[in-house]
Chain A
């Protein structure tokens, strides 16, 4: 475990430019993760030993790439990682005896989830960034409450589904009420804020957890059908969604088409889809072995960035170019190991709430990775969402460390009970 954390830190030092600052930087993060490890040893001695090192490795890869793209951003992100680790440690300390008290507050969590999602809509608090109103501004702090809303919703779903799983399976409408109200409200808010990525994510998490709880494939099929109907409906109604789908299906055009950005005629690859297309070029430029960290092409000849939102949504594209297929595949395998450890935790947990909580957190983590990387790879349309633990973004990294805390709490309990 220590070696894995060590590797994570050494990785930072070796790959970035070797200077006193970067060595100190690496040493600091090494110390941070040693501290986090000590907290884990003290509070949750039987927690899954892989989860923290993997999270540390992913955060380190993210920091390294952010440092390469913009050293100033890396400093800010570093601060956020410190905050995230502190929140992580606090969560472990607070719930080290029994996290299952959370189940008692499931409705509060449900309401909190909706409230958090709704927060950016409040006039004076919300700010619109990149076309979606997802941010809350309180003084100098900028914050994306939706990331935490996701966790609150998972806690609610885990608690509610655990309690009502038998009756839900029978299909009594009365029992569906609260579930549909809270979930439906969050979907509505997401649709209203144009946050398609999160909408997809929430839908997927809901479906996954519902299936685990009720074991009814009919529900899954029904909701998938509903999803299709809803998706087609949204496609017909929203020009924004239509554009995303067009970009996804036909990023290149042979002839000039109308470009709404400049209000003139242009090839689509020079207009709406230039971000996606350049991101594909960026990955292709990496090839098998990549250009090497710091050696990739991410700016124009005048130093301006080639791809917008490279350090947040499109960080995978930069990593794939600089680390090549070998590095990108390794990164995806790291995600896969994390996800498998998460599901293992869910399998070994003894009670329904723990199982559902671990499954929800893990599946959400996997689905979020798929939605953003799949978008970049043109498997699905691009929706702006962060790559867990790697992307630049404070709320995202804090939320994902809370996911980690949840999984470690569940795994500690499961392993302790197995050992007895």
Chain B
């Protein structure tokens, strides 16, 4: 019987050995994959055992996100509190047991929970674990100026829209406001989201959407900055290039009337004008003719140089940002293979033709022109600090690339200054400061629901801020609705320090 006994023993040992192999598989090989799964309930709870890092602006107040300790059945859990409420809710996001995560809370989770691969963090986290102490995350110090952010939010008020302010030379995000907003402290309370369904003027709703980075708006005349940049940078036009404006532009044998442009001020027909005047008064026929001569391919090529057709870099989650460009009816980004036959160059040139752009992208266009044609990578996390107060990572300015020549930027700047001084954007004038800007008013096809824009930077000779303001479903125009808000934001930012 002993031979059989030995064999049976081998079977038993093999069975138990298989358990060792199985355990090893799940705890080492499969573990990272399981940890990343959305439905991982264990991870979701374990996150709250970590003292999450704080999120605050450089001034330290108000705190965008802090922790509240709660003892549940012998367990110490850390839940989030958002003292600033809805001030920058879409950017900061939330981290709650009920609704998982959004915003920087999601994309910067590795830092906030101290599970990033930074050597310093790894060391202290491992030590904490060995000591049995609470693991502490890293703090995020944002570049947002809370006072001006507050100003932008109150200026937008109940209206739906966004304000983005960048520092042109660095790409630092100073304001990233989106309305309507929500209270992240109440986000996982039952019924709260349903109660937000109709917030905002004209039921515009969508408080969770970060309009500043993911809202796609028709750019209208603000796109003329891109068209003008292409016109001048290719050398095919100069500021003094002559045009004749009969009040319309002929495309495919049919007239496209200037009257379709609510943004244009002055008479219906300007007659003989140069490019500068065309820009100053936002004359559609001028840009329509430029578009026809340059071709859609060239304009789109310049748009891409400014960052269109790629999702603008920022620390927020990639699905909370959108690329700007032409969109199909099904809301798909459309990069035409044969622009000359697939795109109407005239309408493209003055910013209609199925264009969808984000306020962040338009702010990047203004900042690029302000920065002598060089686009900087926008960033909202200025530095990352460990729980002991030591800076473990500082964000350095980074060039994304050159969009236009310095001469082109200079010529565009003076055209934009003229538009504010005596053109469509006079409501953005600041005494003693030269402001460069461009208005935009896009009809959405529904009466009295214009998308109103103002995109600008100041001071024109040494720019310190670039601002994009957009408001949707407005009765008025970019110059009358968006420009005053941009003016206030610029003034507040320039008054700092």
Question: Residues of A with Cβ closer than 8 Å to B?
Answer: 208, 211-213, 215, 267, 269-270, 274, 277-278, 280-288, 291-292, 295, 297, 299-303, 306, 320-321, 324-325, 328-329, 332-333, 335-336, 339-340, 343, 346-347, 352, 355-356, 359, 362-363, 366-367, 369-370, 373-374, 377-379
Contact = CB atoms under 8 A, between A and B. Distances in A.
Interface string B307-327: 000000000000000000000
Nearest to A301: B97
Contacts of A374: 15, 18-19, 22
28 contacts: A211-B8, A215-B1, A278-B41, A278-B42, A280-B34, A285-B31, A285-B43, A292-B132, A300-B41, A301-B79, A301-B97, A302-B72, A325-B24, A333-B20, A340-B9, A340-B13, A343-B8, A346-B5, A347-B6, A363-B11, A363-B12, A366-B15, A369-B19, A373-B19, A373-B23, A377-B23, A377-B26, A379-B22
Given A325-B28, A343-B5, A297 B18 contact: no
A294 to B, nearest CB: 8
Contacts of A347: 2, 5-6
B20 to A, nearest CB: 5
A297 B42 contact: yes
Nearest to A274: B41
Interface stretch (B45-53, B252-260, B297-305): B45-53
Nearest to A377: B22
Contacts of B40: 281
Interface in B423-448: none
B9 A301 contact: no
Q: For chain B, which range describes its interface: under 10, 10 to 19, 20 to 34, or 35 or more residues? A: 35 or more
Contacts of B18: 370, 374, 379
Contacts of B11: 208, 363
B16 interface: yes
A281 B72 contact: no
B23 A212 contact: no
B23 A363 contact: no
A270 B28 contact: no
Nearest to A366: B12
B4 A329 contact: no
A329 B24 contact: yes
Contacts of A299: 45, 72-73, 75
B410 interface: no
Interface string B41-84: 11101101100000000000000000000001101010100000
Contact of A212 (B4, B13, B97): B4
A339 B132 CA distance: 35
A374 B31 CA distance: 18
Nearest to B8: A208
Q: Taking chain B's interface residues, is the majority helix, strand, or loop, or is none over half, making it mixed?
A: helix
B250 interface: no
Contacts of B9: 339-340, 343
Contacts of A370: 15-16, 18-19
Given A287-B27, A297-B42, A301-B97, A355 B5 contact: yes
B3 A215 contact: yes
Contact of A295 (B22, B43, B45, B132): B132
B16 A366 contact: yes
Contacts of A306: 41-42, 45
Contact of A284 (B19, B31, B73, B97): B31
Contacts of A343: 5-6, 8-9, 12
A258 B297 CA distance: 51
A283 B26 contact: yes
A340 to B, nearest CB: 7
A287 B31 contact: yes
Most buried by B among A284, A286, A320, A369: A284
A297 B46 contact: yes
B35 interface: yes
A218 to B, nearest CB: 13
B30 interface: yes
A352 B374 CA distance: 91
Contacts of B23: 283, 320, 325, 328-329, 332, 373, 377
Contacts of B15: 366-367, 370, 374
A287 B19 CA distance: 16
- The 10 A-B pairs with the shortest beta carbon distances in the complex, nearest first, are A377-B22, A366-B12, A343-B9, A303-B73, A284-B31, A281-B42, A284-B34, A370-B15, A301-B97, A325-B27
Nearest to B97: A301
Given A335-B16, A336-B17, A343-B9, 5 more contacts: A215-B3, A299-B73, A352-B1, A369-B19, A377-B19
A359 B22 CA distance: 25
B20 A284 contact: no
A172 to B, nearest CB: 20
Contact of B13 (A283, A295, A336): A336
A48 B442 CA distance: 90
B331 interface: no
Interface in B77-123: 77, 79, 97
Nearest to B72: A303
A65 to B, nearest CB: 15
Nearest to B35: A284
Nearest to A278: B41
B16 A267 contact: no
B39 A267 contact: yes
Given A299-B72, A374-B22, A339 B5 contact: no
